[in-house]
Structures are given as C-alpha cells and as structure tokens.
Amino acid sequence: MPMNIAVAGSEELISENLLELLQERELSVGKLFLLTAQDAEDQESVRFNNQTVYVQDLESFDWSQAELVFLVGNSDEYAAAFDRALHSGCKIIDLRSAAFKASSYGLSLFAKKEELESAVYVSPSDLTVLMAQIIQPFFEETAISQLNVVALKPVSAYGKKGTEALAREIAHLMNGRPLENTVFPAQLAFNIVPEQHKSCLAPELQQLFPEEKINTTVTLLQAPVFYGTTVIADIVLEDALPKEVITKMLVSLNDIELSDELLTPVTHGSNQSKIYLQFISDEQAEIQTFRLYIVTDLLRSGRIRNAVSLAEQLVNPVMH
C-alpha cells in the first residue's frame, strides 16, 4: 500500500538526494509533503513522480496527513516537529546530524535486517553506515581487533553552503582576490584541512555491535572536492581468514563493486549510490591484516541509502 511521506528539512542538500533515491527505488509513495522551518515561499517546487510538490511551512503542518517522516533538518524547530509527528502517530526516520538527532533511541541499520516494530528509527552517520555494512559479515567468522579509518570528506558534507563556499574560494584565489571564508576553519581550496570535531564512528559502531570489542581510530580530513568521499580502512582480524573468503564476503555486499580501476572521487564518487572498493593485502593464502580503499558518494550511499532501505521494509514488510 502507498504510504504518505513527509520530508522535514527540504532546504537541506541531503533532502534532494533523498527524493532522487526514493524515485529511483520506486518506493510506493501516496502523498509527498515537503516541509521547511525557513520561508517556504522562498523555496522552489520539486518534481516528484511526475507531479509538482510545493514546500510547506513546518510549523503549521498537520502531521495527521503523514504516515512516515524523514527528519533531515538540523535546528530546534525540527526537534519540536519530531515531538509533534510522534504524537500524531507518524513513524520517523531520523537523519539529523549527531548534535540534533534523538539520542534516546537506538541506531537502526538496514543491513542488520532487524524487526521494524518501533515508531522511531535513528540512522547512524554516513561514515558509520558505510563501515558497518562492510565489517558486519566478518563477525560471522571472527572478531575485528583493530579498525583504523582515514576519511577524506567532500564539501558536500556541509550541504549547499559547503559547495558554494568552495566554489567562491576557488574563484577568489584564481582572480587574486582575498578570501571571505565563513564556512571552513581555514582555506580549503587547493588545501587539506583536518576536521576539528570528533568522529562518531567508534561509539556508533559499538552501539550497533555491542558484543564486539572493536578498537577503532578515526582520522577525518576535509578535502577540496565537491562530492565523493575517499576512505582508507586498515583492518586487523583476530583470526586469519583465507583470502578467497574475504573476497567473497566483500563481493556479496549489495551495491559494492570490487574494482581494479584507478578510483577517484570525481569519477566514482559523484551522484551515484554504488560503493567502489579495492581490497589490498599481502600475497598470502590466509590474511589477518588488510586494507580497503573505498570511494563513494556518501550523500547517496550513507544515511540516505540506509533511510530508504528502512522505508522499503516499513512499506513492504512482507517482501523484506
């Protein structure tokens, strides 16, 4: 049965990718409501399933019209909307950043294929969604004793303001004009800047896999690219596994492609949901330590993919 869906936070870049993926996956949507805490009249209408959808005011929305809410806006207004939607009986998929999302609910990951009987499903961060689905199959064979992750993030992680800010920086520098930076902690054009905030990857992985004791280190770097995240993950297994077993695990994962190509964020990490991966290890029959080189557009393969997959299970529970 079609489900009436609301997207709360239509001004966010992530909402555009959410709507695209909902259409690509042909989720059974009845009515679509786009909501914003900003001035709704300033936002453009959206074409969805061959229909024009206009943005509505978040504050005055009647939540009884919606059955499922994708909550993506990051402000106090959306925190109040969360309570109103929940009180009206809506199911909620919370995609907000760590500072805003509901902390009193457990994390939900589509790859774990759990029974979806709650009213609220909180998505882990983009990087956690990526790494969790990759490492999960290994727990059926052995434990992971060490996980070292280096992630080079694009400016799309900041939303529209990030892509616009990098474009301005490049234009100003190429024309010999002084920078007027208000988004990044330092000049990002033609530069690499370390992330100042602490990654939530380690605590979120521990929450998703409470029985596992994963020693995780994370280094986040801001790269001067618009889209596409590059991740280098060094993994140490508790017990060595045959190389072909590891390869089979990786190949079996949905939307993941093992590749021998030269992977770059420009060619493999923009506007696509697939995850490109290279498996690097010593030439031995059994492997205990190996490296994964990953390139993907986390705007589409991270929280968004997790949210749409969860929504598919809610809309069509028998089929999943």
- State the total domains in the chain: 2
Residue 243 amino acid letter? K
Q: Which residues of 124-146 are buried (b: 16+ CB within 10 A; e: fewer)?
A: bbbbbbbbbbbbbbbeeeeebbe
**140 with 93, same domain?**
no
Provide the pLDDT for residue 317.
62
- Give SS3 for 158: helix
DSSP of 6-48, one letter per residue?
EEE-TTSHHHHHHHHHHHHTT--EEEEEEEESS-GGGSPPEEE
What does pTM read for this prediction? 0.92
- Dist CA 285 CA 191 (whole Å): 40
**181 with 270, same domain?**
yes
**97 with 235, same domain?**
no
Q: CA 300: distance to chain centroid?
A: 7
Question: Could you tell me the residue range of the domain that residue 164 belongs to?
Answer: 130-298
Does residue 313 belong to any structural domain of this protein?
A: no
Provide the pLDDT for residue 40.
86
**135 with 275, same domain?**
yes
Domain containing 8 — which CATH number?
A: 3.40.50.720
Query: Cα separations (Å) of 170 from 69, 160, 183, 188, 245?
Result: 38, 16, 14, 9, 46
Provide the pLDDT for residue 196.
81
Question: What residues in the chain have per-residue pLDDT under 50?
Answer: 318-320
Provide the pLDDT for residue 318.
47
